[in-house]
Amino acid sequence: MSTTFQPFGLKPAFHPSGLDRAVPFVGTNSFTGNDYTAPYGITAGQAFYQYQPVAINGSGQLIIAGATPSTSTVYGVFDGVEFTDSQGRRSVGKWISYEALAASTQIIFWIFQDVNLVYEIQANGTVASTAVGKLFNFSATSGQTTADGTSIGVGGAGFSKTAAAATPVTNGQLRCVGLGREAAYPAGQTNAWGDTYTILQVQIANDAFPQGASGTSGYSGYSGTSGYSGA
């Protein structure tokens, strides 16, 4: 049973083609010669963590995605960063703070961005099998929001702690497509519908690029208010 709440963000599970690759992002309008000037829009105290949902602001900068469609669409999921640090050394990492970004140049983020990717995410409550096809938002509860994450030691890995809100909505950031396959999370626990903190398979429903006619659905042809047209 998934009775332990340990949210891990949006972890890529699979792609229909078998290729779940991240793509580079350097800012949509921030090229300056060989330098990429501030391709991010986060502020002091914030950070980008692996498996964190991210968005793009009006200046073409990467930001943390909002919990609901009213706050942002979703560009993709953060997977890492390349940068030149203050000593001129080229570095890579799976997470990075605002303070580290401010001291760096030539920043390239790596993002899981393909709209067909299927992710796994833990809900902050019980979800039943009737959730397949329904829409969900990210949690707005402190400690499990899209901005929350944890790092391991100094220079270690850093992971998102984003969870899904367990209650279906009519207009959401995610669409449930099945039950998560995290078979042992934590060790000795399995995942099943109706568990205390169910792990779901989802796709991004409110994607930044393939907007539906209403501007709220991830795919044209969807109504923007339900997981399926006509619901």
In a domain, 54, yes or no: yes
In a domain, 3, yes or no: no
Identify the weakest region by mean pLDDT among 4-18, 25-39, 128-142. Answer: 25-39
- CA 104 – CA 84 distance, rounded (Å): 5
- Residue 218's pLDDT is 37
- Helix, coil or strand: residue 102: helix
Number of domains in the chain: 1
Residue 157 amino acid letter: A
What proportions of the chain, in percent to the nearest 5, are helix, strand and coil? Answer: 5, 35, 65
- CA 46 – CA 181 distance, rounded (Å): 30
**pLDDT tens by residue, 92-139:** 999 999 999 999 988 999 999 988 899 999 999 999 999 999 999 999
In a domain, 179, yes or no: no
**pLDDT tens by residue, 176-220:** 999 998 655 566 678 899 999 999 999 999 988 765 433 343 333
In a domain, 186, yes or no: no
Mark out the alpha helices in the chain (DSSP H runs): 98-102
In a domain, 128, yes or no: no
pLDDT band of 3, cuts 50, 70, 90: confident
In a domain, 157, yes or no: no
CB 191 within 8 A of CB 5: no
In a domain, 106, yes or no: yes
In a domain, 124, yes or no: no
Kindly state the tokens that stand for 190.
Answer: 């399995």
Structural domain boundaries, residue 81? 23-112
Q: Would you call the peptide bond into 186 cis, given omega within 30 degrees of 0 as the criterion?
A: yes
- CA 91 – CA 71 distance, rounded (Å): 32
Residue with tokens 């169910």: 198
